[in-house]
Amino acid sequence: MARDMSDIDILKMELEQLKKEVSTPREPVSKTSKDTMDWCEAASGTDLLITGVPDDKNPYKPEKGGCIIT
């Protein structure tokens, strides 16, 4: 557990991890950002916090004067 490890042990652990990470395959930000943006735009149409929900389909409205049939 990290709390029980000495400074040297923690440094050795970090060193091992860094050696692995230096050789991780990476892609340029221009490509990955574009992919993220495209994914996001494609999904925007179904994101109900962006488009909102019509009252008759919204389970949280109305609060009074209606019953929720489940």
Q: Smallest distance from the beta carbon of 20 to other proteins, in angstroms?
A: 8
Closest by alpha carbon to 39, among 31, 28, 51? 31
Find tokens 């221009």 and name the residue.
30
What is 26-59 written as a DSSP string?
Answer: ---HHHHHHHHHHHHHHHHTT-HHHH---GGG-T
Q: 5-64: which residues touch other proteins (CB under 8 A)?
A: 5, 7-8, 10-15, 17-22, 24, 26-37, 39-41, 43-44, 46-55, 58-61, 63
**List of residues contacting other proteins (CB under 8 A):** 1-3, 5, 7-8, 10-15, 17-22, 24, 26-37, 39-41, 43-44, 46-55, 58-61, 63, 68
